Amino acid sequence: MVAPPGGLDEAVERTVRALLECGPEALRAQKALLRAWEDLPLKESVDLSIGVFGKSFLTDEPTRLMQGFIDRKR
């Protein structure tokens, strides 16, 4: 993202708010994946990501956070 002159603080705040809305387990998993992707070939990166995605559903986080999306006012 490129912030306009004088808009850096607002851009940072918007990004921080978006991150805070994410589940902590999802953020940890994504951070670990980003680190792993730096060193892995594409196929191994995709395979690793699929496994991490599947494991995320062993917690209630995806269901709990998706419920907020489903229940949102239209």
**Domain containing residue 27: CATH number:** 1.10.12
53 lies in some domain: yes
Is residue 13 one of the residues assigned to a domain? no
Residue pLDDT tens, the chain, 74 long: 899 999 999 999 999 999 998 899 999 999 999 999 999 999 999 999 999 999 999 999 998 888 888 888 76
For 10-74, the DSSP string reads HHHHHHHHHHHHS-HHHHHHHHHHHHHHTTS-HHHHHHHHHHHHHHHTTSSHHHHHHHHHHT---
Give a yes or no: residue 57 inside a domain.
yes
In a domain, 1, yes or no: no
* Structural domain boundaries, residue 37: 23-70
How many domains does the structure of the chain reveal? 1
pTM for the model stands at 0.67
Examine residue 44 and state whether it is found in any structural domain, yes or no. yes
Residue 10 lies in a domain: no
Can you give the pLDDT at residue 46?
95
